[in-house]
Amino acid sequence: MTSDTRIDDIARLIDDAERILFITGAGLSADSGLPTYRGIGGLYNDQHTDDGIPIEVALSGDMLRRRPEVTWKYLLQVETACRGAGHNLAHRVIAEIEKIKPQTWVLTQNIDCFHRHAGSRQLIEIHGRVDQVLCTHCHYQQTVKDYSGFALPPACPRCHAVIRPNVVLFGEMLPDEAVRLYHREMLRGFDLVFSVGTTSVFPYIAQPVFDVRKWGGRAIEINPGITEVSSFVHHKLDMRAVDAMSRIWQALGHPLPATKDLAVAE
């Protein structure tokens, strides 16, 4: 089956579906120019950090509690490397699909808020949001544009305890509200599940792909590589997210948004 045929089939599945789930990962935001922690183009690749520890240790909840200046050193490095990037055409197409299919949801591992900026409203940000910081001691919380001007580590303006980003660091639990939304929507099931730009190594990310058959639905993967769910999907597009979502949107009979409309995070 050619890619054109698969894309036409996927467009028909979207037309016929009522409930659609997009599961998204780092591969989607990579098309916005965001670097990954490791791998090709990663900030740290297979090397330790300047402090001689793996980045997963530096960006852990335990390290934040013991040595917050170390965790914040690398939080600032990662945030600076990503600063100025914004949502891309794939984020926008997913948001547009939500407009024509109101029971569309996004389950994202990304903390960059690009889905939100692109217009998606029914979001499960399972790993949190980088644009929110909160105090580790009191109830202070603030939404920020970026981390420029932050001290190392930054202190709460109310109680002077260390503040932290509202994201899941390595070794931490998932946020309660996101987990509640996840379970509620999984109980309702989906007609169509997309896995886009994720290796699906976490069970809660792979599970909807595994469950879609019991819901009587179909699963689609968009990823240039082989992943944990590749052998379970009905259609696989070995493509980058922007290329695949653009072609799917056109197969649905819609023109692509103008490039000038794809602003960086508002």
The topology (CATH level 3) of 3-33+86-127+172-261 is: Rossmann fold (3.40.50)
Burial classification of residue 20, based on how many CB atoms lie within 10 Å of its CB (0-12 exposed, 13-18 middle, 19 or more buried) = buried
- Tell me how far CA of residue 6 lies from CA of 153, 234, 245, 246, 248, in angstroms: 50, 10, 12, 14, 9
* Chain segment 84-126, per-residue pLDDT in tens: 889 999 999 999 999 999 999 999 999 999 999 999 999 999 9
> Could you check whether the bond before residue 68 is cis, i.e. omega within 30 degrees of 0?
no
Check whether 264 has a pLDDT greater than 50.
no
| CATH number for the domain whose boundaries are 35-84+130-167 | 3.30.1600.10
Decide: 166 and 134 in contact? Cβ < 8 Å: yes
Mean pLDDT of 115-139: 96
Q: At what angle do helices 203-211 and 176-188 cross, to 10 degrees?
A: 10
Mean pLDDT of 179-190: 98
pTM comes to: 0.91
Order across the sheet with 128-135: list the strands: 141-143, 128-135, 163-167
Select which of 87, 115, 117, 127 is catalytic.
127
Could you tell me what percent of the chain has a pLDDT over 90?
79
Model confidence band, residue 45 (pLDDT cutoffs 50, 70, 90): low
Q: How far is CA 57 from the centre of its chain?
A: 21
C-alpha–C-alpha distance, residues 240 and 243, integer Å: 5
* Closest to 125 (Cα-Cα) out of 148, 102, 108: 108
Known active-site residue 87: no
Give residue limits of the domains in the chain. Answer: 3-33+86-127+172-261, 35-84+130-167
C-alpha–C-alpha distance, residues 218 and 225, integer Å: 20
